[in-house]
Structure 1
Amino acid sequence: MKFLFVGSSPDHGGAEVHFTALAQALQEQGHGVEAMVDPRGFIAAELARANVPLHRRRFRNVIDPCAHARLHRAIRDFRPDALIGNFGKDYWPLVLAGRMAKVPVALFRHSVTALNPLSSRWLPRLAHSYFAVSHYARAVYADHGMDAQCVQVLHNPVDVRRFQHAEQVRAQVLAELDIPQDAIVVGYCGRMRSKGIYTLLEASALAMARDPRVHCLWVGEDGGGELRSAAAFLPHADRHRFTGLVDDTERYYSAFSMLAFPSLAPETFGRVSIEAQACGIPVLGSDIGGVPETLIPGSSGLLLPPGDARAWKRGILALCDPAARAAMAVAGRAFVEQRFSYPVIAGQLVARMQAGR
């Protein structure tokens, strides 16, 4: 099949990573892929690196006439079998273009904020496929009044060739950060705001008091440095390391002994959880939102009550056992390969787009 992706976002978040990963997954399975994207930012750069042909134009708003003309030219020239959209600004232009060109449209929704009543009622009915990225999100959309029968679930894909454990890389990262090679590294990856990071900070301090091998590695943007400042006043402050924003997160997963995903507010899904498990890293995740769909509790990780620092301390100490981590590493990698790998998710999308055509 041939897929034309349309993405007007210049940002670098979960929806943008999903957009590029899904395009690459289809391309790797031998499907034709082109994309009409904002010429700035992450999406254009990532797809250019993957040699996806780009139409560099974005929708400034729903009625942007130049963008509509560019989209119709791309459809005419490429003759796609399906149009794919991830961002709210692109939903109505894609539905209208798909109807005019008689091309099926698949829309992905990543946020759980409510759409306006018109869009909530009609977009899932007018699109060929309307996807939530978790069962949790689908339930929230139904609570907002959307017809759940019009919403399907298709999880995020992950490149299991890119995300895999490398012991040599682990040794290099630990040496670069001056962390002992025998350390038990509690890793966090993501933006350091509104994700329960202070629960994890408290829990890690309690775990460090119990086990001198425990260290914390914080990967991501620390805004104004508030978390780093807070860690400096804790006992064992010398066991915390901060990398800042990085592009090669898979490298740091290899250095983790476990990933902590301590969200307080419900996450729509939780990509970092499946990326870490692909790298053979057990996950401590908050039992909230879409996070439970990203791991096998007791097998590839542990679900813990959000905001309960003492429960998170117990979870960290439980995974200080190397035998427990080794078993979870094998289970987690197999789980991701079977549920979230590029061939699996690309195959599911193709099957659903072909259904009813």
Structure 2
Amino acid sequence: MDVDPHLTTGPRPDNASAAFGATATRPAVVLQVLPTLVTGGAERGCIDVAIGLAEAGAVPLVASQGGPMVRELDRAGIKHITLPLASKNPLTIRRNAKRLEQVIREHGVDIVHARSRAPAWSAWMACGRTGAHFMTTFHAPYNFKGGLKRWYNSVMARGERVIAISEFVRDHVLANYDVDPARVRLIHRCYDPSVFAPERVNSARIIQLAKQWRLPDDRPVILLPGRLTRWKGQIVLIEALEKLVRTLGHKDLCCLLVGSDQGRSGYRQELEERAKRAGLEGVVRLTGDCSDMAAAYTLATVVVSASREPEAFGRVIVEAQAMGKPVIVTSIGAYRETVIPGETAWVVPPDDADALAKALGEALALSDAERAAIGAHAQAFVSQRFTKERMVAETLAVYGELLGA
């Protein structure tokens, strides 16, 4: 769908404080609502924006059911309000609307920013009763097969402003929901340059992680980060490795599947058994979660996203390029926005083990100089488009639009 970019991209101030102007009679109060603060891109963006609001002199509030990331808000001195916002029960959603109405009135909330559907319904009702501004972020192209699910999803299109995290998501929203394009703002997800930069990862961290994973010194490392779920394509990567090893005639490789199974023990066992049948014991390793992904990227020779379903953005691939790594992605979702095909990335069809094996072979055959050149190009590409500072500034600019700054 062709859309006038001037209608879908808000102002881009040079700093966050510009979003609120200098004439406000009191600091703006912005409440972000989401189900939990456990892990994920929506949660990371919420915290980054909350901190950006505080630095701009506004008052940030966050409401969720809680989780380990609440500690980051506590360290920043940002108030977290615990509510059962992860529940999709209609009665709980209505009760949450009453609770949010009280929060809005008690704290003088100007804007409520919803980042997920169930809390968005509660926030929409509360804003209707209080007059607070209501806005949303579409973090995914929510699926629907019938009218009821589409109606449930539609709350995310009811905001006075609707942020889409990629062009792919924006086009989905405009194609499937009754929303004025003038209300939609494209603000890409981001990476944190203070974390994902090669020069910020010291040798001690790299050595510690290599020892933890018992990595051999003389093998190229293929890294696939992502929770263990079928749509992330770990099975396809194992099939590609089987073909690659058969072609090369040796097993001088190491493949790391980094991510939690989140209770999917059956799928984890399936992956282990598939690797064993392929003769890849010792080659394919399931590491579980990693608390130092910057070091993990540093250890990688090539980073793979083998997703079988569209990625709304693809933060892993952006982080890997920020770390100067060649990447392989599948040709669905927002990949056209996050890589330069043929320059910073190999692009392969989803569920195509042959194409993935071929791309892996080419990536592993690069000389050190070729790998460094691709890495430098990738770093320059993502640093111009996807930094945390830019995402925060653009989001605060949307708040400024609602407040008439």
Give the TM bin, normalised by the shorter chain. 0.7 to 0.9
1:170 — aligned with what?
206
1:230 aligns to 2:274 (yes or no) = yes
1:7 aligns to 2:34 (yes or no) = yes
Change (3 A) 1:344 1:291: same
Please identify, of 212-221 and 108-117, the stretch whose mean Cα deviation from structure 2 is larger. Answer: 108-117
CA distance in 1, matches of 2:277, 2:76: 44
1:235-282 deviation per Cα after TM superposition (whole angstroms, max 9, x unaligned): 342222221133433332222122100111222221211222222222
1:114-151 deviation per Cα after TM superposition (whole angstroms, max 9, x unaligned): 47455666753x42211222211222233324336143
Gapped regions of structure 1 (runs ≥ 5): none
Change (3 A) 1:257 1:51: farther
Change (3 A) 1:180 1:140: same
2:380 partner amino acid: A
CA distance in 1, matches of 2:179, 2:103: 32
CA deviation after TM superposition for structure 1 residue 69, in Å: 4.3
RMSD: 2.8
1:338 partner amino acid: Q
1:154 aligns to 2:187 (yes or no) = yes
Q: How does 1:126-275 map to 2 (within 5 A)?
A: 126-147=158-179, 149=181, 150-165=183-198, 166=201, 168=203, 169-192=205-228, 193-209=230-246, 210=248, 213-222=252-261, 223-224=264-265, 225-275=269-319
Please identify, of 10-19 and 198-207, the stretch whose mean Cα deviation from structure 2 is larger. Answer: 10-19
2:84 — aligned with what?
58
SS for the counterpart of 2:140 is: coil
Change (3 A) 1:327 1:164: same
SS for the counterpart of 1:351 is: helix
User: What's the TM-score once normalised by structure 2's chain length?
Assistant: 0.78
1:160 partner amino acid: P
CA distance in 2, matches of 1:145, 1:80: 28
1:336 — aligned with what?
382
Gapped regions of structure 2 (runs ≥ 5): 1-27
CA distance in 1, matches of 2:39, 2:353: 30
CA deviation after TM superposition for structure 1 residue 155, in Å: 1.5
Please identify, of 298-307 and 52-61, the stretch whose mean Cα deviation from structure 2 is larger. Answer: 52-61
Tell me the matched-pair count.
355
Task: Calculate percent identity across the aligned residue pairs.
Answer: 26
SS for the counterpart of 2:285 is: strand
1:277 aligns to 2:327 (yes or no) = no
CA deviation after TM superposition for structure 1 residue 312, in Å: 1.1
1:198 partner amino acid: I
CA distance in 2, matches of 1:261, 1:90: 30
SS for the counterpart of 1:5 is: strand
SS for the counterpart of 2:343 is: coil
Change (3 A) 1:344 1:56: same
CA deviation after TM superposition for structure 1 residue 212, in Å: 5.3
CA deviation after TM superposition for structure 1 residue 298, in Å: 2.6
Q: Pick from 109, 132, 150: which aligns with 2:138?
A: 109
Conserved 8 A contact 2:120-2:155: no
Change (3 A) 1:181 1:265: same
Conserved 8 A contact 2:165-2:189: yes
SS for the counterpart of 2:325 is: coil
User: What's the TM-score once normalised by structure 1's chain length?
Assistant: 0.87
1:33-82 deviation per Cα after TM superposition (whole angstroms, max 9, x unaligned): 2211213x244344335442111223445664653344234333443442
CA distance in 2, matches of 1:337, 1:297: 17
1:270-320 deviation per Cα after TM superposition (whole angstroms, max 9, x unaligned): 121122222222221101012332222233222111122122122112222
1:131 partner amino acid: I
Q: RCO (CA 8 Å, sep 6+): is it higher in 1 or 2? A: 2
SS for the counterpart of 1:299 is: coil
Q: How does 1:116-127 map to 2 (within 5 A)?
A: 116=149, 118=151, 124=157, 126-127=158-159
1:92 — aligned with what?
121
Conserved 8 A contact 1:38-1:44: no
CA distance in 2, matches of 1:72, 1:226: 47
SS for the counterpart of 2:299 is: coil
CA distance in 1, matches of 2:387, 2:192: 6
